Structure 1
Amino acid sequence: MTEHKRLAGMPDIASHADPQVAGQLDWVGMNEIELPIMIDGCDGSRSQTTARVSAFVDLERPDKRGIHMSRLYLLLDQALAEHTVTPALLRHLLRDFLASHEDLSSHALLRLDFDYMVRRKSLKSDNSGWKRYPISLIAGLTGKDFSLEMALQITYSSTCPCSAALARQLIQDQFRKDFGPSGEVEAQAVLEWLGSEQGIVATPHSQRSAADLRLQLAPSFEAFPFEQMIDAVEDALKTPVQAAVKREDEQAFALLNGQNLMFCEDAARRVQTALMAQDRVIDFWARCRHFESLHPHNAVAIVTKGVEGGYKPIDGQPSGWRQG
């Protein structure tokens, strides 16, 4: 028996069996598919990483029981093995999804979740280290209408302005206690006091924080602006977390935090200003979360570009940027 005849004789329940209950389905497919992908860096380098992939089509035929999931997987496997991930590749894959289901579907959705690694120089020393940026690429196709999103998370440090003001007041009180309310004070004595524990009797609270971004990109661009968007937001926030740190780097980081006191509202406005200046970004949703060291809860601010009708994510996940 030939392979073709053997396969032809195998049952295909999804194609031939009637659905138990008739009805159209918005999305059918797979998520958490583990596949290697190739990513191009801004310097022309190419790197491989592992992605968790979601692939879906709609099922608009109420009389059909299911789709052909194996077709989606095989198309993904071949395309991602042969090409780097670009907007053009995602568009091509979505077209192939619909072509493989031309009698069943008219919408296709694709999502890739992966980590993008960037080597960052230390603030002062000659060292450098790796930083991880979680990235999601989300693409949708309806007819010829191609939509594209890039989501990412950027971790930074935030120092509370209110806490800083309260700490300064306590330092002033300690100064009056140690040197008296009035009169002349020798400069050397003040310098020595400032270098002692009394000179920093209170410190403002700081915390690791995260900017979660969803960016709707102009689909005409052929490369994803990973580092361009990362750099724009980190430059605006001023206090990105560091990898390799020596004492001089930690001191420089402390200075950056002291010069960039911010509530979550301040951080969100900085991110908004940075993204408004990006020509590639059609619309955006951004959330700044400060993982409070004072409270057992987070301080959160959310901002959008302000496009009429509000931000409409391709995959219908407005409150989050990465699927679980």
Structure 2
Amino acid sequence: MRDVQNQADARGIAIQRVGIKDAHLPFLIKTKDGGFQQVLARILFTVALPMEYKGTHMSRFLEILMPWSKKPLAEPEMEAMLEEALERLDAQSAEVELSFKYFIDKEAPVSRRKSVLDLDCFFRGTKVRGEKMAFTLGVDVPFTSLCPCSKEISEYGAHNQRSVCRTAVRFREGQECIFIEDLAALIEKQGSSPIYPLLKREDEKYVTEAAYENPKFVEDILRDTVLALRSLPGIAWFSIECENYESIHNHNAFAAHEETVV
């Protein structure tokens, strides 16, 4: 049959990223303990298209993804996936992003009841032909924040809210990326108190009082997170967005920072 996509294009415009978006497949994400966790991933998978080609072969993206969805996945597998895309689609660069819910174990601070907390995460790999893959890990970590100003001016109590820190990190070539579990633990320490899916009354008392003793503005959380990320060995770049879902306003408090670590 006639291959229209493979015909020449005379407009002289190379397309930087073309491919598939919002595909959904199960994947096996490697865990810190050496095992894996099955997740449902939302996928963005693209390549660069030279100006002389009319279109890319969309079916090949799914053909590449299917076998990898059945193997435990981390950085090496992401790079092999992208290398395959470069070869099969005759491209100079390729990018894949997998967004998924990842569950970490949590233990209540007093009752020690066990539960799991869901985190929004992503893996993003970008590869140029002949170069090493650039890998980015993204994790959204929720926690509690308590307002220092409210505590200072109130005779009793202080307003607090649920907050989230959206963090993305990249590490230097040759340095392994941090595990999701470790990055989440590092970030949630920067809030006023961690969040737990399952709390008994004695736990609720504990976390309420812990937050009260550790008040932080959104700016405090962001600056403390910057210092925490700078301390990671081999980190090359990070971005942070902190958002407090305010309990006494009809808007949220927000702070953001991006940094290349020299």
Pick the TM interval, shorter chain.
over 0.9
Q: Which residue of 2 aligns with 1:321?
A: none
Distance in 1 of aligned mates of 2:115 and 2:234: 29
Match for 1:138 among 124, 130, 140? 124
Query: Does 2:34 match 1:44?
Result: yes
Distance in 2 of aligned mates of 1:126 and 1:90: 37
Q: Which residue of 2 aligns with 1:120?
A: 106
Match for 2:151 among 155, 164, 168? 164
Alignment of 1:168-317 (within 5 A): 168=155, 202-221=156-175, 225-307=179-261
Q: Which residue of 1 aligns with 2:53?
A: 64
Q: Which residue of 2 aligns with 1:75?
A: 64
Match for 2:6 among 15, 34, 37? 15
String of CA shifts for 1:94-144, please: whole Å, max 9, x gaps.
Answer: 111110122xx2011110000110120001003111100111111101121
SS of equivalent to 1:14? coil
- Work out whether residues 87 and 224 of structure 1, in 8 Å CA contact, stay in contact via their aligned partners in 2: no
Aligned length: 261
The TM-score, its normalising length taken from structure 2, stands at: 0.94
Query: Does 2:60 match 1:106?
Result: no
> Residue 55 of structure 1: CA displacement?
0.7
> Residue 221 of structure 1: CA displacement?
4.8
Distance in 2 of aligned mates of 1:219 and 1:269: 26
Distance in 2 of aligned mates of 1:247 and 1:95: 53
The TM-score, its normalising length taken from structure 1, stands at: 0.76
> Residue 20 of structure 1: CA displacement?
7.3
Match for 2:77 among 84, 89, 101? 89
Query: What are the ranges of 5 or more consecutive residues in structure 2 without an aligned counterpart?
Result: none
> Residue 205 of structure 1: CA displacement?
1.0
SS of equivalent to 1:125? coil
Instruction: Tell me the amino acid that sits aligned with residue 114 of structure 1.
Output: F
> Residue 42 of structure 1: CA displacement?
1.4
- Work out whether residues 88 and 222 of structure 1, in 8 Å CA contact, stay in contact via their aligned partners in 2: no
Kindly tell me: are residues 72 and 219 of structure 1, through their superposed partners in 2, closer, same or farther at Cα, counting changes over 3 Å? farther
Structure number with bigger Rg: 1
Q: Segments of 4+ in structure 1 off by > 6 A?
A: none
User: Please, what is the CA RMSD of the aligned residues?
Assistant: 1.7
Percent identity at matched positions?
24
Kindly tell me: are residues 272 and 223 of structure 1, through their superposed partners in 2, closer, same or farther at Cα, counting changes over 3 Å? closer
Distance in 2 of aligned mates of 1:27 and 1:14: 16
Instruction: Tell me the amino acid that sits aligned with residue 151 of structure 2.
Output: A
String of CA shifts for 1:224-274, please: whole Å, max 9, x gaps.
Answer: 511111111122335121111111000110111111101001000111121
SS of equivalent to 2:6? helix
- Work out whether residues 31 and 179 of structure 2, in 8 Å CA contact, stay in contact via their aligned partners in 1: no
String of CA shifts for 1:260-295, please: whole Å, max 9, x gaps.
Answer: 101001000111121111114211111111111121
Kindly tell me: are residues 114 and 280 of structure 1, through their superposed partners in 2, closer, same or farther at Cα, counting changes over 3 Å? farther
Distance in 2 of aligned mates of 1:156 and 1:20: 54
Instruction: Tell me the amino acid that sits aligned with residue 13 of structure 1.
Output: V
Distance in 1 of aligned mates of 2:126 and 2:18: 14
Match for 2:21 among 11, 21, 31? 31
Q: Which has the higher helix share?
A: 1
Distance in 2 of aligned mates of 1:216 and 1:222: 10
Instruction: Tell me the amino acid that sits aligned with residue 65 of structure 2.
Output: L
Distance in 1 of aligned mates of 2:178 and 2:74: 6
String of CA shifts for 1:63-119, please: whole Å, max 9, x gaps.
Answer: 2110112112101111222x21111011111111110122xx201111000011012
